[in-house]
Chain A
Amino acid sequence: MLKIKNLHAQVGDTKILNGLDLEVGPGEVHAIMGPNGSGKSTLASVLSGREDYEVTDGSVDFDGVDLLDMDASDRAREGLFLAFQYPVEIPGVSNMNFMKAAINGKRAHAGLDPIKGNDFLQKVKECASLVELDGRLRDRSVNEGFSGGEKKRNEIFQMAMLEPKLAVLDETDSGLDIDALRVVSQGVNAMRNSDRSFMVITHYQRLLDHIVPDFVHVLSEGKIVKSGGKELALELEEKGYDWI
């Protein structure tokens, strides 16, 4: 699904990723942990194609296509989804119009006609119930006036709508209370299947109690320094990152 080889990236003159290697197979859930400044969010930004980040070396193969060769919107259309740590507000653009534009962008890329109104509404209904997003939130402008928890639920709602091949969750647990964490995790778990992969970037073990990973990787100074099963996360929780 995803093969990252020797990835180097920098912002301005600051090198952040220094030869990162990672393989994610179909249906697998990988947790990426690590201390502040280790490059976790940079990895998410580089994969999703944010322009401020310059890739200086390495390659990323995404289901047979060269990910780094595409712009951000084509990466999304190929099935890469990023749940943002800080989702932005877009005043005046309704969540529904936004989703429709996104879905139709993806469909056009795949050579399909725009989605039919009824199908779209049906899908909205299903996906909204997945993360308990009520009608009021669905009909408002994108993230405008949403609480932190509502924004994160909206991210998972969008993920469900877009049915990505690979979803990268960037510190989705930050700023969530325990109920919101449960709802968001439920949504993610419901989306898990044998084809869809997840990369869960987090600081804390507690999210991994809800979304149980197949693999855990520790990132430090822009490289993966340790990999293991879900037990590794518990060990990190106990001993901290200095232990590695």
Chain B
Amino acid sequence: MQTELVDAERVFLFDRMIQMGQTEEDKLLNEVTGKSYEFGFTTDIESDTIAPGLNEDVIREISAKKNEPEWMLEWRLQAFKVWSKMAEPKWAHLQYPKPDLQAISYYSAPKKKKELKSLDEVDPELRKTMEKLGISLEEQKRLSGVAVDFVMDSVSVATSFKEKLGDLGVIFCSLSEAVQEHPELVKKYIGTVVPQKDNYYAALNSAVFTDGSFCYIPKGVRCPMELSTYFRINEAGTGQFERTLLIADEGSYVSYLEGCTAPQRDENQLHAAVVEIVSLDDAEVKYSTVQNWYPGDENGMGGVYNFVTKRGICHHRSKISWTQVETGSAVTWKYPSCILKGDDSIGEFFSVAVTNNMQQADTGTKMIHLGKRSRSTIISKGISAGNSQNSYRGLVKIHPGATNARNFSVCDSLLMSSNCGAHTFPYIEASNPTAKIEHEATTSKIGEDQIFYCQQRGIDEEEAIGLIVKGYAKEVLNKLPMEFAVEAQKLLTISLEGSVG
């Protein structure tokens, strides 16, 4: 416990140093920490951080630090221009102080010491952090067949199983690397699903994104392992702007896992990520997320702001399936969506969103039906506890050309206390008379009778709540890959500890 405090303090000091300009003492401190790192002792990872604030120069600096080609910089600047004219959206059922975007540092990368070829070369500090978060590499190794691209503060520092994937022609790397190594793919697809002007935070991300993951599955290849990325936010006051681009070429298949967790902080941290998925003809993409960022304390202090734009486009006969378990963040604003452009394309959204204490979540999905016989399924399970507010917001839109499109939606809400709120905002726009749309919604309060029944069998209250909630969310949890399902179940139980009232 004590060491953790010291670590946090040191990070804080380190940040101050950068802001105030380095004194002699600072230089000395830097040298010392740098030295002990050389000897392999665990210390803070040195960060390369740009001073807070946002303007064209900052964007040029980010781009220069990443040694980006001219077209990438132009793309960023264009996004910045668009963003400068936009206003923050207010329609969500959320209340929070507007983040001061000029107080954020837009680039923070752990300094690379050398190229890493195996997991053994990963910085001990990083590994310690991961172990604390319960995602040790040892564990990951045991979970056979998982290639991990670990992202810490925006820059990938370890990539595994790369060679095996390389043999199949699968590209799985950081987006920065892809910009260097596969510019033609990045240039062709970036911004095609989530354009720069899409929304306020997507535009911001387009201007300042520092890193993220890139994945390309070649024609007809069935990716043999679950691809996995762990995100975490490290430096206090550093907004994280991840950008993920996933392309499944014709007839390919990939299952992608994304999980993230952040350490406790007193100030709000902004996370405005963008995920773009392109699923070409006959391809299938399964994208699973377990999100457990710091939600703030019981009074709502601290916690991550999670304003994310996730969208995929399905071409003919292709399929995108979003599965998410959301337990973290102080404020969540997130709608993984599918544009069902191709005929016979399929979009799916399975979600469990838990809010406790003062957490607020406004989450759901959009299914945009353009192709003939396109089908979509939405299963959303909200769980609200404490004083939290949990909203489902979904849009099912059937365009005139989408003959015989079908949608089936279920939105259930479970209330754990008398002070929390559950809200459902389903929007349906059907412009084709052949569309078939079904929508079911229920709201229930966790039954004291159910809890007592469990207790009478010798199951204590906490475990009983865990069992009941897991049962409630089972339909969604079953959609997760095995190793994720276990983690997700643990998370649900932890998130709801002491929450019945």
User: A-side interface residues toward B, CB under 8 Å?
Assistant: 48-51, 71-73, 75-77, 81-82, 84, 87-88, 90-93, 97-99, 101-103, 105-106, 109, 141, 158, 162
Contacts and interface: CB of A to CB of B under 8 A. Distances in A.
Q: Please list the 6 inter-chain residue pairs (A to B) with the smallest Cβ-Cβ separation, ordered nearest first.
A: A92-B471, A93-B471, A102-B457, A72-B455, A92-B474, A76-B458
13 contacts: A51-B448, A71-B460, A72-B455, A73-B461, A75-B456, A76-B458, A90-B450, A92-B470, A98-B457, A99-B457, A101-B463, A101-B467, A106-B458
Of B448, B468, B471, chain A has the most CB atoms within 10 Å of the CB of B471
Contacts of A103: 458
Contact of B467 (A75, A81, A88, A93): A93
B473 interface: yes
B112 to A, nearest CB: 46
Nearest to A107: B458
Contacts of B461: 71, 73
A76 B453 CA distance: 11
B455 A76 contact: yes
A75 to B, nearest CB: 8
A193 B274 CA distance: 66
B382 to A, nearest CB: 15
B457 A88 contact: no
Contacts, number: 79
A49 B455 contact: yes
B459 A101 contact: yes
Contacts of B460: 71, 73, 105
Nearest to A105: B458
Contacts of A101: 454, 457, 459, 463, 467
Contacts of B475: 92
Nearest to B463: A101
A141 B471 contact: yes
A162 B455 contact: no
Given A88-B447, A92-B473, A109 B467 contact: no
Contact of A92 (B447, B454, B456, B472): B472
Interface in B449-493: 449-450, 452-461, 463, 467-468, 470-475
Give the dominant DSSP class at B's interface. Answer: helix
Contacts of A105: 457-460, 463
Given A81-B456, A99-B457, A141-B471, 9 more contacts: A51-B452, A71-B461, A88-B450, A88-B453, A93-B470, A101-B454, A101-B457, A102-B458, A105-B459
The range of chain B's interface size is 20 to 34
A82 B456 contact: yes
Nearest to A164: B458
Nearest to A101: B459
A76 B474 contact: no
Given A84-B453, A88-B453, A90-B453, A73 B471 contact: no
A158 B453 CA distance: 12
B457 A76 contact: yes
A98 B467 contact: yes
Nearest to A93: B471
Nearest to B460: A73
Contacts of B470: 92-93
A98 B456 CA distance: 12
Nearest to A91: B471
Contacts of A88: 447, 449-450, 453
A90 B467 contact: yes
B413 to A, nearest CB: 14
A73 B453 contact: no
Contacts of B452: 50-51, 72
A89 to B, nearest CB: 8
A109 B471 contact: no
Contacts of B463: 101, 105
Contacts of B448: 51
A87 B474 CA distance: 21
Of B456, B472, B474, chain A has the most CB atoms within 10 Å of the CB of B456
Of B453, B457, B458, B467, chain A has the most CB atoms within 10 Å of the CB of B458
A66 to B, nearest CB: 18
A109 B460 CA distance: 11
B55 to A, nearest CB: 52
Of B455, B468, B472, chain A has the most CB atoms within 10 Å of the CB of B455
Nearest to A159: B457
B459 A102 contact: yes
A144 B458 CA distance: 20
B467 A97 contact: yes
Contacts of B455: 49, 71-73, 76
A190 B456 CA distance: 22
Contacts of B473: 92
B459 A73 contact: yes
Contacts of A73: 454-456, 458-461
A76 B475 CA distance: 30
B471 A77 contact: no
Contact of A90 (B456, B458, B471): B471
A71 B473 CA distance: 28
B450 A72 contact: no
Nearest to B475: A92
Contacts of A84: 453, 456
B449 to A, nearest CB: 5
B147 to A, nearest CB: 32
Contacts of B450: 88, 90
Nearest to A76: B458
Contacts of A93: 467-468, 470-471
